[in-house]
Amino acid sequence: MVQMFPRMLYHDAGSFEDQIGGHTTRFRWEPVSLTLAILLGIGVAAEVGTGTTALVHGTQQMTQLEAAIDQNLKILETSITALQESLTSLSEVVLQNRRGLDLLFMREGGLCAALREECCFYADHTGVVKESMSKLRRCLKEHQREREAQKGWFESWFTQSPWLTTLLSALAGPLIILILLLTVGPCLLNRVVSFLQAQIGQVKLMVIRQQYASLAEIECDTPQ
């Protein structure tokens, strides 16, 4: 009667780690690549958030600059118009006084004859100033209409609510990172799980091969 028993091999912790430890270095590239991919994704998301914030701030600052220039031109136009009106009023007063003095010195032939000087005449050029100021007012109104027409609803939020700019600037980067994690996270998780399963499968395969190799050596050493 022949009895056959399977050969049982016992490996302690030290010998098992020595057998497996020599094969662990070849599988480090995939975790490193996953880590680099995550870091690069976070960096790109942060840069996108920063670029979006800079773009919003740049557009808002350009709009504010245009509005400030138009406001300064409007103030200048108001000042020049006031000076032109003052000059016109002063010229009317001077001409009125001139007519009164001519009446007083009518016997002498008028004020100029009484003074024995050449008569001075007033040349009114305020019409040019009026025309220039009217053109400037039309240009300012046209610029304002164009600015209001080009301003979208998204940009109007930042103009009317400055606090919204700060809030969105602070939340843009984390929101983009969260969206990227929700989008790419499942793929990365599947890759990690697949990598771990492959590692476990290779460890099991190595143990089985070691057992079969030991069994083959015993069979070869056994006399026929």
What percentage of the chain's residues is helix, strand, coil (to nearest 5)?
Answer: 85, 0, 15
3-state secondary structure (DSSP) of residue 50: helix
Distance CA 101, CA 96 (A): 9
53 and 143, same domain (yes or no): yes
90 and 109, same domain (yes or no): yes
- Among 160, 179, 194, identify where a domain stops: 160
Two structure tokens written together for 44:
């790109």
**Residue listed under structure tokens 């190595």:** 206
In the chain, the percentage of residues whose pLDDT exceeds 90 is 0
- Among 160, 175, 197, identify where a domain stops: 160
Query: In this structure, which amino acid lies at residue 102?
Result: D
Number of domains forming the structure of the chain:
2
Two structure tokens written together for 27:
């599988």
Distance CA 111, CA 99 (A): 9
What is the domain range of residue 213?
162-217
- Among 160, 186, 207, identify where a domain stops: 160
Q: Per-residue pLDDT tens for 23-69?
A: 444 444 445 444 545 555 555 555 555 555 555 556 667 777 788 88
Predicted model pTM: 0.42
Distance CA 155, CA 161 (A): 10
Q: Per-residue pLDDT tens for 129-157?
A: 888 888 988 988 888 888 777 765 555 65
Q: Is residue 21 part of a domain?
A: no
